[in-house]
Amino acid sequence: MPDTPRGPDAGSVFERRHREGGPMYFPRAEFEDRVARARAALRVEGFDALLIFAPESHYYLTGLDTTGFVYFQCAVLPADGGEITLLTRRPDQLQAQERSILDDIRIWYDAPGVDPAHELRAILQEKGLKGARLAVELDNYGLTGANHRRLVAALDGWCTLEDGSHLVRRLRVVKSPAELAHVRKAAELADTALEAMLGAVRPGELDSVISAAGLSAMLCGGGDVPPGSPLVNSGPRALYGRGVAGPRYLTSPDQVTIEFAATYLRYNVCIMRTAFIGAPGPDVAAMHAATREAIAAMTEAARPGEPLGRIDEAHRRVFDAAGHRTHRFGACGYSLGATFRPSWMDVPPMLFAGNDMPAQPGMVLFLHAICPNTDAGIATSIGHTILVTEDGAEPLSRLDHDMVVV
């Protein structure tokens, strides 16, 4: 039997949840439609059930919004329409009860020698899934290697496990109108945060203050802490493709690469710029011009029905013609959606040459044109998030791509 809430307000929690029709982020009907499409996808591929480990899948299908995925947390979605059952830990119970459509919530408790994979097998036994063909989400942060070994050991010879990482991910790539409303709010936060961050760029300041300005703008604007830290790299570190530990004092002249996601109800919108302190020289101006041309060509290439690889082909064409073949990156962006720590990237799909997945209306993609010229020690970067529409691509930022000079 599912666990029931206890305490003076327990009844009101369930009454309120069911009276309001489900979690606050989306109407209950939207979740029911997503679950129905996931079940249909299972049946098409001949699976009897899906073992859900990806936190993004939990959130998308049921509204479950916790960080408990760092432990063993699994939901069983039967293909035949049976009830979804969640196996999780006690700290995640109330959130599952209040902020998801889940009713059957089972708890496993920490104890010496405990193995939640065996408790999961008991749930599968209840559902008549012994000997069944089960899809399991392997490609995500919610199933560690150690927990996968537990899972295989508990179910070896008892049922058949196959990788089903693609099943819900494919559904999530194209956003519904309700999701796009959250995406647009995140885009507003991204613009506001970038303006605040650029306003904090000044000689003598720690570059970590720029991160603080962006995070403050996002949180004060009603957003969430993003699933990844803002990238603010200055000086020679402006050429890095990843953030590093330890702040640095800005000088004059200097360069600062800024990349981050603004997050609203877990939905992410990314933006990127390189700012310069002091008058940039002609080499910088020429690199910026190539970067600006690249992001424009990439945006034009993002058209419905066209392979996503065309976006990177445009990226390569512009940078290579400008003499930056050895400096540009080998991919130029990725899909965005609702994600959890440690990353705002919602991949696949990635944007690289040869990716034949067609662009579809409703896709949200981050395009980044990045040119770290290691020969000259100069970086120029422009990135923005687009929505693929019926007839092209809509940039979700209101900010221009002019060179930023402090």
Q: Would you tell me which CATH number, out of the four given (3.40.350.10, 1.10.10.10, 3.40.50.720, 3.30.565.10), belongs to the domain 10-172? A: 3.40.350.10
Alpha-carbon dihedral angle through residues 45, 50, 56, 59, given to the nearest 10 degrees: 120
Q: Using an 8 Å Cβ cutoff, are 336 and 269 in contact? A: yes
Mean of pLDDT over the chain: 94
The pair phi, psi for residue 304, each rounded to 5°, is -60, 135
Residue 14: band (very low, low, confident or very high) from pLDDT cuts 50, 70, 90: very low
pLDDT of residue 7: 39
Cβ atoms of residues 383 and 394 within 8 Å? no
- pLDDT of the residue at 137: 98
pLDDT digits (tens, 9 = 90+) for 47-101: 999 999 999 999 999 999 999 999 999 999 999 999 999 999 999 999 999 999 9
Coil vs helix vs strand at 214: helix
**Which backbone phi and psi does 318 adopt, to 5 degrees?**
-70, -50
Q: Give the CA count within 13 Å in the CB-facing half-sphere of 5.
A: 20
Span 94-144, pLDDT tens digits:
999 999 999 999 999 999 999 999 999 999 999 999 999 999 999 999 999
Q: Are 141 and 342 in contact (CB under 8 A)?
A: yes
Long-range contacts of 234-239 (CB under 8 A, 24+ apart): 234/207, 236/377, 238/274, 238/372, 238/379, 239/372, 239/373, 239/374, 239/377, 239/378, 239/379
Please give the pLDDT value at position 24: 62
State the pLDDT at residue 210. Answer: 98
Q: What is the pLDDT of residue 162?
A: 98
Give the pLDDT confidence score for residue 312 in this predicted structure. 98
Secondary structure of residue 112 in the 3-state scheme:
coil
Place of tokens 């687009």: 386
For domain 174-405, give its CATH number from 3.40.50.620, 3.90.230.10, 2.60.120.650, 3.10.20.30: 3.90.230.10
Q: For residue 267, what is the DSSP state? A: E
pLDDT of residue 62: 97
**CATH 3.40.350.10 residue spans of the chain:** 10-172
Q: Is the pLDDT of residue 13 over 80?
A: no
| φ, ψ for residue 191, nearest 5 deg | -60, -45
pLDDT above 70: residue 23: no
Whether the per-residue pLDDT at 243 is higher than 60: the answer is yes
Rounded Cα–Cα distance for residues 169 and 337 (Å): 10
**CATH 3.90.230.10 domain residues, the chain:** 174-405
- Rounded Cα distance between 220 and 174, Å, is 29
For 207-238, letters b (16+ CB in 10 Å) and e give: bbbbbebbbebbeebebbebbbebbbbbbebb
More confident site: 18 or 314: 314
* Residue at 329: amino acid letter: F
Q: What is the Cα–Cα distance from 140 to 221, expressed in whole angstroms?
A: 30
